[in-house]
């Protein structure tokens, strides 16, 4: 269905063909399927218990009927919204599914809430009918501060509306066995708890309960989605030579090019799957961004003249047949004609995202082996969590958050840019058209003037996504943090701090962690960004 990835025009790029031959000679694909941890490292720690994603299509297909029955029960009870309270690997695949498919007729609408910003929480609170909303609390560890804080906010409101003895029926959990969330769900009368496979890491969990329960609740055809993934899984098997293996070829190419300096993977997608990049971004960045190396995923970048792109790029185009692709087709042809490496992945329709989930998981695992990286851990994520916890602890004593100093000049930050660098905009602001236009204008200006890639992450979402790459990858990032003042704050029930304090602590904690890692940083307010009036 997907065909092989054409590599003829890539022969000019050093070591691509040699790397693919090496992947074949070292039997990397068969060893992965045998769950041989030595493909990546000599120690099985956080590898041996992280390879369950290889078998998810087999384990989840028999559960489709039960998931559909549960979804129909929720639909028949008259629930109008499902609000997913989750972060990172628990939220990004559902967001792709929400944007790609929407809700089928009669099924509730899915809202993904992965923010601690009071403005966004208030927006969702006002948007839904609380009595007819199912809250899906999703966390592999069962201890995410964001998800549990959001739960406390909505649980209090539903308790007041429906009474504490029945309010639990408006809540469902997805987690691993034995987690704090599993105990919370039992103690507080949740309608249901779905236990995910413990040997599947968060960013590899798209085809597990973390992705499929939200998909079922909005009426997505789970069997069709999983069968597409099953077909891709078969073509990524050891029986398929690497020249015909779509996952191994993709992984070998992007890993090889990254080692040769083309580490900015620029992902373009057809309109119907535009949010796929958010999921792929986390998978690639968190898996490969460590040990001073990494592949930098670039998504949502403005389409510019090919002269604006440096020679640190590889372009990957996910093209859905029958989508309005004329502009993207013309752009990608110009990019390839300019001598940049381009890979085109053809999708028959939106349900092929099921196949792409598996392809990119396999490709990332292969790229990790090629680059000598452990793709299943996230050793540098804890730095921001620790810094945030320290700031919150201080706040509980003094009633104020410590300031973190940084340059207040974008131009000063950009003056440090050199070949191979990239700009990262870390936006702790409410997403709306005005700020999106302003940030797009900054990205456009920077790419054209400095010939460097640009990335945009909204906080605190990016902490569970690209945050690992920012601290653990190569020191080539320029980090611009943007914050906004809190107009209408919200308390976090049971805590002395508010959501405004929590989001500010996360922003400052990450800035502090970046500086501790020796990264180049600057910070601006939303008002200062809008006043730049670029574009």
pTM over the 0.85 mark: yes
Q: List, for residues 251-291, the tens digit of each pLDDT value.
A: 999 999 999 999 999 999 999 999 999 999 999 999 999 99
Q: List, for residues 456-476, the tens digit of each pLDDT value.
A: 999 999 999 999 999 999 999
Helix, strand, coil shares, percent, the chain, to 5: 50, 15, 35
Q: Which two tokens stand for residue 315?
A: 């372009």
Mean of the pLDDT values across residues 484-505?
96
Q: List, for residues 175-227, the tens digit of each pLDDT value.
A: 999 999 999 999 999 999 999 999 999 999 999 999 999 999 999 999 999 99
Q: Write down the pLDDT at residue 511.
A: 97
Question: Hey, CA dihedral for 300, 434, 121, 382, is it positive or negative?
Answer: positive
- Banded pLDDT at 4 (limits 50, 70, 90): low
In this predicted structure, the answer to whether residue 123 has a pLDDT above a threshold of 90 is: yes
In this predicted structure, the answer to whether residue 5 has a pLDDT above a threshold of 70 is: no
In this predicted structure, the answer to whether residue 431 has a pLDDT above a threshold of 70 is: yes
Give me the chain's average pLDDT, please.
95
In this predicted structure, the answer to whether residue 3 has a pLDDT above a threshold of 50 is: no
Sheet with strand 520-525: strands edge to edge: 453-458, 422-428, 477-483, 520-525
* Higher-pLDDT residue of 533, 388: 388
CA-nearest of 120, 172, 183, 110 to 146 is: 120
Query: Which domains occur in the chain, in start order?
Result: 10-39+226-371 (3.40.50.10490), 55-220 (3.40.50.10490), 383-532 (3.40.50.10490)
CA distance 126 to 426: 27
Residues 495, 455: contact at Cβ < 8 Å?
Answer: no
CA distance 89 to 147: 13
CA distance 19 to 408: 44
Q: List, for residues 292-302, the tens digit of each pLDDT value.
A: 999 999 999 99
Q: Write down the pLDDT at residue 519.
A: 98
Q: 123, exposed or middle or buried, with CB in 10 Å at 0-12, 13-18, 19+?
A: middle
In this predicted structure, the answer to whether residue 389 has a pLDDT above a threshold of 90 is: yes
């Amino acid at each position: 269905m997907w065909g092989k990835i054409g590599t003829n025009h890539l022969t000019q790029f050093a070591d691509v063909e040699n790397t693919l031959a090496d992947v074949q000679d070292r039997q990397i694909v068969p060893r992965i399927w045998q769950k041989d941890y030595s493909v990546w490292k000599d120690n099985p720690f956080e590898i041996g218990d992280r390879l369950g994603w290889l078998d998810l299509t087999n384990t989840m297909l028999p559960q489709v009927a039960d998931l559909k029955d549960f979804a129909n029960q929720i639909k028949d009870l008259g629930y109008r919204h499902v609000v997913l309270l989750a972060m990172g690997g628990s939220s990004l695949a559902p967001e792709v599914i929400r944007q790609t498919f929407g809700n089928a007729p009669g099924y509730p609408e899915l809202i993904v809430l992965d923010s601690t910003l009071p403005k966004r929480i208030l927006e969702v609170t006002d948007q839904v009918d609380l009595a007819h909303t199912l809250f899906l609390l999703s966390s592999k560890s069962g201890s995410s501060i964001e998800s549990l804080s959001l739960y406390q906010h909505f649980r209090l409101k539903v308790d007041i509306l429906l009474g504490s003895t029945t309010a639990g029926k408006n809540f469902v959990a997805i987690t691993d066995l034995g987690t704090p969330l599993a105990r919370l769900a039992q103690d507080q009368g949740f309608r249901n708890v779905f236990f995910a496979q413990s040997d599947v890491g968060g960013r590899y969990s798209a085809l597990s309960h973390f992705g499929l329960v939200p998909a079922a609740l909005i009426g997505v055809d789970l069997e069709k989605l999983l069968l597409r993934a099953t077909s891709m899984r078969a073509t990524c098997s050891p029986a398929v030579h690497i020249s015909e293996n779509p996952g191994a070829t993709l992984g070998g190419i992007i890993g090889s090019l990254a080692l040769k300096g083309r580490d900015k993977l620029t992902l373009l997608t057809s309109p119907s799957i535009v949010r796929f990049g958010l999921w792929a971004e986390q998978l690639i960045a968190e898996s490969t961004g460590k040990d001073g190396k990494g592949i930098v995923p670039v998504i949502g970048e403005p389409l510019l003249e090919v002269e604006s792109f440096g020679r640190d790029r590889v372009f990957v185009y996910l093209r859905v047949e029958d989508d309005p692709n004329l502009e993207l087709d013309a752009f990608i042809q110009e990019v390839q004609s300019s001598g940049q490496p381009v890979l085109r992945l053809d999708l028959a329709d939106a349900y092929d995202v099921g196949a792409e989930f598996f392809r990119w998981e396999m490709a990332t695992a292969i790229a990790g082996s090629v680059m000598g990286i452990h793709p299943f851990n996230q050793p540098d994520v804890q730095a921001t969590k620790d810094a945030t916890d320290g700031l919150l602890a201080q706040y509980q004593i003094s009633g104020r958050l410590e300031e973190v100093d940084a340059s207040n000049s974008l131009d000063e930050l950009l003056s440090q840019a050199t070949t191979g660098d990239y700009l990262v905009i870390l936006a702790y602001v409410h997403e709306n058209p005005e700020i999106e236009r302003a940030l797009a204008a900054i990205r456009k200006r920077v790419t054209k003037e400095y010939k460097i890639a640009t990335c945009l992450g909204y906080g605190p979402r990016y902490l569970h996504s690209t945050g690992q790459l920012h601290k653990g990858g190569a020191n080539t990032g320029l980090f611009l943090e943007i914050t906004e003042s809190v107009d209408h704050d919200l308390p976090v029930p049971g805590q002395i701090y508010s959501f405004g304090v929590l989001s500010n602590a996360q922003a400052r904690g990450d800035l502090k962690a970046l500086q501790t890692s020796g990264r180049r940083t600057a910070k601006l307010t939303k008002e200062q960004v809008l006043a730049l009036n670029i574009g």
